Amino acid sequence: MALPWLQRVELALFAATFLCGAVAAAALTRTQGSFSGRCPLYGVATLNGSSLALSHPSAPSLCYFVAGASGLLALYCLLLLLFWIYSSCIEDSHRGSIGLHIALAISAIAIFLVLVSACILRFGTRSLCNSIISLNSTISCSEAQKIPWRPPGTALQFYSNLHSAEVRPKDRRPLLG
């Protein structure tokens, strides 16, 4: 049985949201791992000789919240995607109004959490980059990836990872602003 076009759009949106949430969660988790578990969002960098160091990281729970909200959204959308593919194609079932209202309420909460997470990610990355640029050792945050960090091995590709978490995979434009 062919799906109505609105259900196809809904399934495509679930798939895209799953992809974006998974990429954001993975990229932020990888960045936090490269800082030895410290959260670089809203962090303050200092110049230590010719090396940079994250002197004042944020609480790790800030990164956990952003990655967790993105990861849970990805999981939620994946489960809904699989459920509706199964229900629509295999069982040929239709949605009732109660199920639709519950799904809408959960989706509204998820959208709110993702909006808060996106703001934290955007402004936290901008704050870290402003801290790095204010040291006058580099002109951009992407260039700061090439400067050695203390301890060695810290901050590997931090800006690329944070930027990947912040942008849409297709067009690479920021989600906010």
In a domain, 160, yes or no: yes
How far apart, in Å, are the Cα atoms of 45 and each of 67, 134, 135?
Answer: 22, 9, 8
In a domain, 122, yes or no: yes
In a domain, 173, yes or no: no
Q: Give 69: exposed, middle or buried? Use CB within 10 Å, 0-12, 13-18, 19+.
A: buried
Confidence band of 177 (pLDDT split at 50, 70, 90): very low
Q: What is the pLDDT of residue 104?
A: 76
Overall pTM > 0.85: no
In a domain, 177, yes or no: no
Number of domains in the chain: 1
Mean pLDDT of the chain: 81
3-state SS class at 82: helix
**What is the DSSP code string of 105-124?**
HHHHHHHHHHHHHHHHHHHH
Residue 120 pLDDT exceeds 50: yes
In a domain, 172, yes or no: no
Give the C-alpha separation, 159 to 174, whole Å: 13
Report the range out of 53-67, 136-150, 154-168 with the highest average pLDDT: 53-67
Give the C-alpha separation, 73 to 65, whole Å: 12
Domain range for 97: 5-166
50 near 148, Cβ under 8 Å?
yes
In a domain, 147, yes or no: yes
In a domain, 171, yes or no: no
In a domain, 97, yes or no: yes
Q: Stretch 4-18: mean pLDDT, rounded?
A: 79
